[in-house]
Structure 1
Amino acid sequence: MKKDITFIFKAHLVPKEVYQGGKNIPPTDKKIHKLSSNENPLGASPKAVAAMKAALDHIDIYPDQTDIRLREALVKDFNGQLTAEQFLCGNSGSEILDILLRAFINEGDEVIFSNPCFLPYAVFSRWYGAKQVDVPLLAPNYDLDVEGILNAINEKTKIIFLTSPNNPTGTYIPKSVMDDFMARVPKNIVVVFDEVYRHFAVAEDYVTALPYVLEGHNVVGLNSFSKTYGLAGQRIGYGYTTPTIANYVRLIHKPFLLPLTSIEAAIGALNDTEFIEKTVKTVLEGRAFIAKAFNELGITYWPSQANFFIIDPPFPEMEFTEKMMEEGIMVRPVSQFGAPGKVRITIGDAEANAALVNALRKIMQH
């Protein structure tokens, strides 16, 4: 007799939706430009690669027991405004999200996020039995619904996720809006401020989590080495927050959490200011070039402060994605992110951006 084992499963883990990362380039002899995963258009930091290669001679031994060397490098990167104890490092920004949820969420607690947004906010919080409260961004500009979020807060609310620049919309939260929100949000709630695309934000009123952390608010600034530094394959990220929150969360940090190659790559990348500046310059120039083409072609898009655009494609999203793939351009439908019918397009290098525009012109002529 076949036994039913479903009774041992946690009900909140029965999947409603599962996060699926961007696809890799399929095997083909055709030139493909992957503009679907928001990766660095220049590759990886040369200093990071050199540091990784040097570390290969030592991969037979355990890595650093803690992340202290990387945290000290981050102190320098933040010009000494934060102390080493205020940083938390992990295997990608996504793991920092997971660690924070493990630290603060019990079954029945609530988290708030605003679709369209990064799907793991909902998926990961479900792992710990949290109720997901979606306060959608406001149409038509994807503005943060501050009043909606504040009205959704109750005694069970533990974490609020904010993202700026936001994935997949590329929009951001102006400083005046953040100031107002932080002045009104209850002090017993942790605000996770996802800023992994911060290097590409040039709006005069853009703000990171830093000033709010310095003021002592219960905020965590979430960052990644996957975008600006070109280390997506190494899966390394970090957060910064108050000493109280950081030291509490560190209680559930595993020893030897980070691979030796990741530690060395991240430290090397932080020291590679030339590569960082070149990456930002490439993205900003590409952003202007693509926006100009969108305007000329009559494609509806949203102004972006990130290294990608979200567009309302001229064809249904899957048809558009297939047509672009036929032209050698990989793009990302983002219905899964809460933006039905929309497509996200990463800014590439000059060659990829030119190929993108040529592909758009071609498919719109048919």
Structure 2
Amino acid sequence: MSKEIESIFKSYLQPKKAYEGGKSAPSNDGQKIYKLSSNENPLGQSPLATEALIAAAKNVHIYPDQTDVRLREALVQDFGGELDKEQFICGNSGSEIIDMILRAFINEGDEVIFSNPCFLPYSVFSRWYGAKQIDIPLREPDYSLDVEQILSAITDRTKVVFLTSPNNPTGTYIPKAVLDDFLERIPKNIVVVLDEVYRHFADADDYVSGLPYVKEGHNLIAINSFSKTYGLAGQRIGYCYATQKIAQYLRQIHKPFLLPHTSTEAAIGALNDVEFIQNTVKTVVEGRKFLSEAFDKLGIKYWPTQANFFLVDPSLPEFEFTDFLMQRGVMVRPVSQFGAPGKVRITIGDQEANEALVAALEKLP
């Protein structure tokens, strides 16, 4: 008897709510819109990246490099030679790196642990591979990592644990002592994925990236992106680094000709633009101070942040709040979808954008 096509659909790929990225700024009757909803670079993009893009545009009729080796060599330089080029893997955005990791390690029925509120692709992408999703929420009210509950949730089917520092959308981070303890206690047959795409903005004394842990041989993969600090969100390029053993394994599923020529050249140019990177970090850190002082003065509830955004708990329902600001030319993002119902994420902009935000907030009823 003939069966319908649905009979061969994978059960874990039945329609569910998909990840929705930040929206583009709309036309608003000539009113200037300050887009503080997608954590984009407040200064735009690196001038050296722009020069590289223009030069690369003359050769888009030619296939790009077959491998990512030139960008990996540039990353070795950026990391001061502390890692080998074989320890880096590049892809079309940090999100694709997440997908690649799950594709490499997850079979149907395996378990993935993450901690909401967090970046939605951890759960959405793991569903694509039939993973059982284990959510160990961050502890309220400070959104700190619940190490004991994560360790207690680990079973023989656990393959991947996602950690984020600084975390999107909370802006919180994992202190070094906490990460030290966690990595010493987690079983050696589990991959820890540390999403550190906002690491350049973290200045806490006890903040730590994944670098020392990878050098020590921990089974940790650190994910990075060129979308934030380097201003290349439109080029969709990211990378990760890990031990040589893990990186070599991941490279088995790295597609040839994966990176567009323009993205590779722009990323290499951006890595060389030290002045732009320093100015970006300075702008974010100064904006963080300006907005936290303004929020305190206005009585806006927010969480201290180590990233280029704030999580706020508005006095209005989240969509009323975002609509109120949108009517005044400021675009921000509700983050119920990220596991933070009622909360709103606000990107730190340049001084003009930050002042426009404060002016709008002053008009709240």
1:71-86 correspondence runs (5 A): 71-86=72-87
- Give the equivalent residue in structure 2 for 1:129: 130
Partner in structure 2 of residue 153 of structure 1? 154
CA distance in 1, matches of 2:104, 2:359: 48
**Cα distance in 1 between the residues matched to 2:16 and 2:145:** 25
Supply the distance in 2 between the matched residues of 1:141 and 1:70 (Cα, whole angstroms).
38
Q: Give the letter aligned to residue 128 of structure 1.
A: Y
Worse-superposed segment, 6-15 or 267-276 = 6-15
Amino acid at match of 1:156: R
Q: CA deviation at 1:14?
A: 1.2
With 298-307 and 55-64 compared, the bigger mean Cα shift is at: 55-64
TM-score norm. by structure 2 comes to 0.98
Listed as ranges, the gaps of 5+ residues in structure 2 are: none
What is the aligned partner in structure 2 of residue 357 from structure 1? 358
Counterpart of 1:177 in structure 2 is 178
Aligned counterpart, 2:64: 63
CA distance in 1, matches of 2:63, 2:17: 36
Q: CA deviation at 1:227?
A: 0.1
SS at match of 1:158: strand
Corresponding residue for residue 7 of structure 2:
7
Residue 163 of structure 2 aligns to a residue whose secondary structure is: strand
Looking at structure 2, the residues matched to 15 and 268 of structure 1 have their Cα atoms a distance apart, in angstroms, of: 41
What is the aligned partner in structure 2 of residue 16 from structure 1? 16
Query: What is the root-mean-square deviation in Å for CA atoms of aligned residues?
Result: 0.9
Deviation at 1:159, TM superposition (A): 0.3
Equivalent-residue separation in structure 1 for 2:48 and 2:271 (angstroms): 9
Deviation at 1:56, TM superposition (A): 1.2
Once residues 40 and 319 of structure 1 are traced to their aligned partners in structure 2, the CA distance between those partners, rounded to angstroms, is: 26
Structure 1 gap segments, 5+ residues each: none
**Aligned pairs, how many?**
363
Q: CA deviation at 1:30?
A: 1.1
User: In structure 1, what residue type is equivalent to 2:71?
Assistant: L
Q: Which position in structure 2 is the counterpart of 1:342?
A: 343
The separation in 2 between residues aligned to 1:124 and 1:57, in whole angstroms, is 35
Helix, strand or coil at the partner of 1:16: coil
Amino acid at match of 1:322: D
Deviation of the 1:3 alpha carbon: 7.0
How far does the alpha carbon of each residue in 1:77-124 deviate from its partner, in whole angstroms, 9 at most, with x for none? 000000000001000000000011110000000000000000000000
Matched, 1:27 2:27: yes
Deviation at 1:262, TM superposition (A): 0.2
For residues 3 and 86 of structure 2, what CA distance do their matches in structure 1 show? Answer: 50
Instruction: Please tell me whether residue 308 in structure 1 is matched to residue 309 in structure 2.
Output: yes
Superposed, which structure 2 residues align to 1:1-366 within 5 Å? 4-28=4-28, 29-362=30-363, 364=364, 366=365
Report the 3-state secondary structure (helix = DSSP H, G, I; strand = E; otherwise coil) of the residue aligned with 2:37. Answer: coil
Structure 2 counterpart of 1:153, one-letter code = I
TM score, norm. by length of structure 1: 0.98
Q: What is the one-letter code of the residue matched to 2:229? A: T
Which amino acid counterpart does residue 353 of structure 2 have in structure 1?
A: A
2:15, 2:351 → 1: CA distance?
40
How far apart, CA to CA, are the structure 1 residues paired with 2:113 and 2:41?
A: 30
Deviation of residue 17 (structure 1)?
Answer: 2.2
SS of match in other structure, 1:161: strand
State the secondary structure of the residue aligned to 2:362: helix
Q: CA deviation at 1:12?
A: 0.5
- Give the deviation of 1:8 after TM superposition: 1.6
Runs of 4+ in 1 over 3 A off after TM superposition: none
